[in-house]
Amino acid sequence: QVRIVESGGGLVQAGASLRLSCAASGGTFSTYTMGWFRQAPGKEREFVAGVSRSGSSTSYSDDIKGRFTISRDNAKSAVYLQMTVLKPEDTAVYYCAARAGASIYYSGSAYAYWGKGTQVTVSS
């Protein structure tokens, strides 16, 4: 059983940066593909970014491409989401998720393990 805990959310102004962290425990971290998802009020959960098991491959949604960067540190069992040029529409609860397997999937149903999320609020 993999336990996931996110941190780093907060309230920032538009244009600011934030770095989210995701700590995983209870499994062999390097065997999991990791993803970040977000859910805004009244909206469905959506894929933000994903990183392969080795960290060599990443994938991003079009909404955040060029502004967000996902990375991982397998030695620390951690995944990060560096967010820059934040916009009010980035306001959401951000979730970290893990899936056993090599591929990055955009669908949340492909991920078996989830954290409880961290709130990101961007004011205009």
Instruction: State how far the alpha carbon of 3 is from the alpha carbons of 24, 27, 63, 116, in Å.
Output: 6, 8, 28, 10
pLDDT value of position 35:
98
Residue 60 contacts residue 69 (beta carbons within 8 Å): no
Give yes or no for residue 32 having a pLDDT over 90: yes
DSSP-derived secondary structure for 41-54: TTS--EEEEEE-SS
Mean per-residue pLDDT for 73-77? 97
| Whole-angstrom distance, CA of residue 43 vs CA of residue 30 | 31
Give yes or no for residue 27 having a pLDDT over 90: no
Express each pLDDT in 80-104 by its tens digit: 999 999 999 999 999 999 999 899 9
